[in-house]
Structure 1
């Protein structure tokens, strides 16, 4: 088993959309292709990229992590059964790295980790979800995954009517649960911003037949405690599916205070990039394992190798993997959700193309999706994404 070649590129995912914290006009993503030869005549190329919300990492990849990966020995990346071992490759990539500092470094490693898992499944001729179920669950995988449509971004000139039309398109695609952004009126007094957002929320809930449990709202970490509590008081009677990232993701004590006052589900975690940060959230964030949602994104947080450690930590603290619904809306996390029995996965039907969304021939029915059976993660079955990836190798 050896790393035959690694290539990387930077691609734009720019858009005029914005959430409550950033706009995406200059957003980029790293894309990699890792080619593996197994010494027995088999060769496979795995592909990886980083999720939206974090920028491309060409420098870190070129200077540290790709050279370490290409310098691995056969023993470091070969399992006892002869298969490719992404765990060993991960350890080699992280040699000479100090603890802490889990920002951009975790993104760069996550990109390569995704490609390694894609290649590992291809070498064994199975979908990644099946590889994971066989290795870590004793064989059974979920038949379908729950998915929700994430959108509702702020856009110049976009009013309530346009927001409702967008959400209606998602319902027509087969999604029954949707998500929208709130808290995105910078400089507006809190009372006026809340009134504006409540009008938007109420319009979408009306479209959903009055069922607030079919709507998630996302603040992207913009609020302080006062704003978070003010919104919480208005949102609580609506019984929303969840109130997402209302506070800075690292302010665990303030999350705990919010959880004391807001009874319905809170969702957070997409901007925590290591098992240790996730453990601090579990220990100190006041979250409730019977209702709250953890959104750690494997593509941003050192990849699946670290995500497996996070799941072990959660189990030790009494949390079910069903409370995990990863951020990112990509096929990698969807395979993980099905193979490891998570609670579902985000989906981006209309934004962050071509990385958002799933395989072309996998329709969504009542917010559930059935996985394709092609080997690997399945990028080749998503034509718009495959057009970006195929020439890289």
Structure 2
């Protein structure tokens, strides 16, 4: 058993939208296919992966360092003890060989993307949905197929007025979401409050709003927003300051006693641990958004979950960034609190398998082998083109 080929392609997911920090006019991602020598129905088993939006494609790092390391390794060193499947942990160690600690920037995205494809292949070789494999190996054996999801939108669109913003949010509610998210920090505080009021006007009982500053604010601005946002019953106030400014996050709890969220731009267990140690996050109300596709993959995410348990945090306080099916599988198999969703943006990479509906803010995981990419026709057509 071995990996015979790894292919990578950079794909544009450009859009005219922007958040408080970046626009997406030149955004790309990497799509990866890990081709094995295991045959099913006359075809090789192929695992697929891609990185989340907001970080660009990492093809050069994959081609120069990580793919050659895997293909140069003795295949016997990359499989489990029985020789019956690939071992994601051994493959991860192979990718990370000759890498110094620290500096968890672009390489964490490259490894995380490839790690996703490897886990997809592993679950397919076992002929199981990934969430069931995770529950058996690392959970308590049981799965929760009913996963909370929220609709991420509310970006700053060129020429979008308040009526158009309200129409966007209504469209998410009409599709079954009960929690929606909009961006803040890309306009003045007064304008952002008008945008919040517009969204709140279309929400009914039991429906909530998150706001996300994408790390834009300094201390004074984050506090000013915290005071202004306290008048609302928000689901959370997300990433007010730089993701590595743990002091800002810790100080902010004195000005905002409602739920906050951060972590999507922390790309290692060590950085996640520093947030827990020094960021003042509160396990009774705050949310953690670590995204495995950006942070070295599921192998590292398992380390992060173990660290959280050691510090008294439940996996149920994790709602990952990224809106991809990999995190949905982790949520179902390992008891996370839910997952982000992009109903309209970054297609075909966001969203759910065809036929999966959002009902009362939740989706039910289908019994698809692997991560389940084959159940989303427009996404699988991109993947199949890469591996054919």
User: Shift of residue 239 of structure 1?
Assistant: 1.8
Gaps of 5+ in 1: 186-192
TM-score by length of 2: 0.97
* Contact 1:110–1:299, Cα closer than 8 Å, also in 2: yes
Aligned residue for 1:101?
103
Gaps of 5+ in 2: none
The within-5 A match list for 1:221-260 is: 221-260=215-254
* Contact 1:293–1:325, Cα closer than 8 Å, also in 2: yes
* Contact 1:106–1:302, Cα closer than 8 Å, also in 2: yes
Correspondence for 1:270 among 249, 260, 264? 264
Partner Cα separation in structure 2 for residue 26 and residue 13 of structure 1? 8
- 2:385 alignment partner, SS class: coil
Aligned residue for 2:198?
203
Partner Cα separation in structure 2 for residue 307 and residue 390 of structure 1? 27
User: Shift of residue 139 of structure 1?
Assistant: 1.4
Aligned residue for 1:66?
67
Q: 1:345 to 1:258 in 2, by over 3 A?
A: same
Aligned residue for 1:21?
21
Partner Cα separation in structure 2 for residue 277 and residue 75 of structure 1? 33
The within-5 A match list for 1:118-197 is: 118-185=120-187, 193-197=188-192
- 1:120 alignment partner, SS class: helix
Correspondence for 1:375 among 325, 347, 369? 369
Partner Cα separation in structure 2 for residue 210 and residue 171 of structure 1? 12
Partner Cα separation in structure 1 for residue 39 and residue 380 of structure 2? 27
User: Shift of residue 145 of structure 1?
Assistant: 0.5
What is the CA deviation profile of residues 188-242 of structure 1, one whole-angstrom value per residue up to 9, with x for unaligned ones?
A: xxxxx1111111111111211266x611000000011111111111111212000
Asked if 1:3 corresponds to 2:3, the answer is yes
User: Shift of residue 143 of structure 1?
Assistant: 2.4
Aligned residue for 1:50?
51
What is the total number of aligned residue pairs between the two structures? Answer: 385
- 1:237 alignment partner, SS class: coil
TM-score by length of 1: 0.96
What is the CA deviation profile of residues 252-294 of structure 1, one whole-angstrom value per residue up to 9, with x for unaligned ones?
A: 0111000122100110000000000000000000010111100
Partner Cα separation in structure 2 for residue 71 and residue 184 of structure 1? 47
Partner Cα separation in structure 2 for residue 168 and residue 362 of structure 1? 20
Aligned residue for 2:79?
78
- 1:365 alignment partner, SS class: coil
- 2:107 alignment partner, SS class: helix
Q: Which moved more, 1:383-392 or 1:283-292?
A: 383-392
The within-5 A match list for 1:327-346 is: 327-346=321-340
What is the CA deviation profile of residues 76-118 of structure 1, one whole-angstrom value per residue up to 9, with x for unaligned ones?
A: 2212342221111000000000001100000000110000000
Partner Cα separation in structure 2 for residue 350 and residue 356 of structure 1? 8
User: Shift of residue 175 of structure 1?
Assistant: 0.6
Partner Cα separation in structure 1 for residue 11 and residue 116 of structure 2? 17
User: Shift of residue 42 of structure 1?
Assistant: 8.5
Asked if 1:313 corresponds to 2:315, the answer is no
* Contact 2:39–2:45, Cα closer than 8 Å, also in 1: no
Partner Cα separation in structure 2 for residue 112 and residue 60 of structure 1? 11
